[in-house]
């Protein structure tokens, strides 16, 4: 099980990491909105490897049968490895190449709220929240935790769907359950 999880997890993590580096390199050209769409689209594409990893485990290791729990566990393992790769890449980028990211994102958020007609009191509240977040985000543990949680919901959902689709019991077990 570990070989399958590591193999597919590292491939998915590499896809997300490479795309993060490329997206961040060109963020100034297309902005935060497009960057977010590219980022989550990349996560979905990379997490498709969860499906293929669970299927590979079922067909090559588990003898063609796998229960929901084991399939979900394999999927979650792949998601965890990929998310750790994603987080590690962000930590390197953020602390070494993009220390101004928080200020730029804050300005983007305030400009967007202003364009939507936010009042000055709302903008002041947003500034205060952004400053508090930026201060917390300087802590590498907090930064890593927040970053790890970004791809996690997408990955867990895909692991859940994959486990439902790929679960397969032996035929004689299914026949015995149907007869009972």
pLDDT tens across 77-133, in order? 999 999 999 999 999 999 998 888 888 888 888 888 888 888 888 889 998 988 888
**Torsion over CA of 46, 104, 108 and 23, rounded to 10 degrees?**
-20
Least confident of 5-9, 67-71, 140-144, 175-179: 175-179
Q: How confident is the model at residue 28 (pLDDT cuts 50, 70, 90)?
A: confident
**Torsion over CA of 42, 115, 118 and 149, rounded to 10 degrees?**
10
Greater pLDDT, 116 or 54: 54
How far apart are alpha carbons 75 and 8 in whole angstroms?
9
pTM for this entry:
0.85
């Amino acid at each position: 099980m570990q070989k399958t999880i590591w193999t597919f997890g590292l491939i998915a993590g590499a896809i997300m990491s490479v795309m993060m580096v490329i997206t961040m390199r060109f963020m100034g050209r297309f902005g935060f909105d497009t960057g977010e769409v590219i980022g989550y689209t990349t996560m979905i594409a990379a997490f498709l490897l969860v499906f293929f990893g669970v299927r590979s485990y079922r067909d090559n290791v588990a003898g063609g049968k796998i229960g929901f729990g084991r399939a979900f566990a394999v999927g979650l393992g792949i998601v965890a490895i990929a998310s750790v790769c994603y987080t590690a890449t962000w930590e390197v980028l953020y602390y070494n190449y993009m220390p101004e990211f928080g200020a730029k994102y804050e300005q983007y958020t305030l400009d967007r709220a202003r364009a939507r007609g936010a009042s000055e009191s709302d903008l002041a509240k947003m500034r205060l929240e952004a400053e508090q977040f930026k201060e917390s985000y300087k802590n590498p543990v907090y930064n890593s935790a927040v970053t790890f949680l970004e791809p996690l919901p997408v990955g867990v959902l895909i692991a859940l769907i994959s486990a439902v689709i790929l679960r397969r019991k032996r035929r004689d077990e299914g026949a015995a359950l149907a007869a009972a």
